[in-house]
Amino acid sequence: MSMVSTYCPHFSGLRRSSPNLHNAPCQSFLQHFSSQARLPSSPKPCRAVIAMSGSGKNGTKDSTTKLVSDLNSAKLESDVDVVVAPPFVYLDQVTSSLTDRIEVSAQNSWIGKGGAFTGEISVEQLKDIGCKWVILGHSERRHVIGEDDQFIGKKAAYALNEGLGVIACIGELLEEREAGKTFDVCFQQLKAFADVVPSWDNIVIAYEPVWAIGTGKVATPQQAQEVHVAVRDWLKKNVSEEVASKTRIIYGGSVNGSNCGELAKEEDIDGFLVGGASLKGPEFATIVNSVTTKKVVA
């Protein structure tokens, strides 16, 4: 399964992505922005933190039962939205046994209503068993299954129109980052959502650099923050200032109990999309609760 958490940020900054993954100097994102990459700004509306768990085809009926038991008994921060995304075959088991404190997401859904699409799962079926969310645009759907930006955008539009919240995944391949195309790729993927979705009220953006998913490599807090800030700036310019301020942008990519605290301190990282670490209930609880490191008294 996978989980997500969010929190309330209070400052922002922009930097251009560095082609190298580590220890490379960052250049200014825009000429008039400080090379310090953090600029004071007026306080923003509080964005509820969200933590989401999901790990592809991993798990069995017994391990899912154990994980649900661990989550039901875990002490979780009250101001964190927690969502789990089990494989399809365990969705009914999880929705019927998980505490109401935690919501359930599917890992994918079909582009429209029902029909003869063998092997696909409809939004209507997901709602029928109690799902509140769906993950769309995950890197494996893009780069293994072959779904393109427009197809993913249409999926998101249909899910939102039918009342599901959407975890909209974006992120670049290693070769794209090394070529300096991180922002180009992320903005293109964002545009495919923006062109068709009816509203941004129930969308959470998940930035997942593909080179960091399941590899043990993690974007540094500064690398993740610079992309999150750039995404928020894109929303401000291309959707609205209100959407940019309110939309939660979470980070995914080898997040675990050891690195979540430093990542959570960054202003524009509003939570996490967790993979393998979400299969361990206590560690997932640690990640959910890591947002407390970001709390400050105004």
Catalytic residues: 138, 208
The 3-class secondary structure across the chain, one letter per residue, is: CEEEECCCCCCECCECCCCCCCCCCCCECCCCCCCCCCECCCCCCCCCEEEEEECCCCCCHHHHHHHHHHHHHCCCCCCEEEEEECCHHHHHHHHHHCCCCCEEEECCCCCCCCCCCCCCCCHHHHHHCCCCEEEECCHHHHHHHCCCHHHHHHHHHHHHHCCCEEEEEECCCHHHHHCCCHHHHHHHHHHHHHCCCCCCCCEEEEECCHHHCCCCCCCCHHHHHHHHHHHHHHHHHHCCHHHHHHCEEEEECCCCCCCHHHHHCCCCCCEEEECHHHHCHHHHHHHHHHHHHHCCCC
Round to whole Å and give the CA distance between 203 and 54: 17
The pair of three-digit structure tokens given for residue 126, joined into one six-digit string: 């997901």
* Cβ(271)–Cβ(250) below 8 Å: yes
Distance, first Cα to last Cα, the chain = 35
**Angstrom distances, CA of residue 199 to CA of 163, 166, 202, 247, 262:** 11, 11, 7, 11, 32
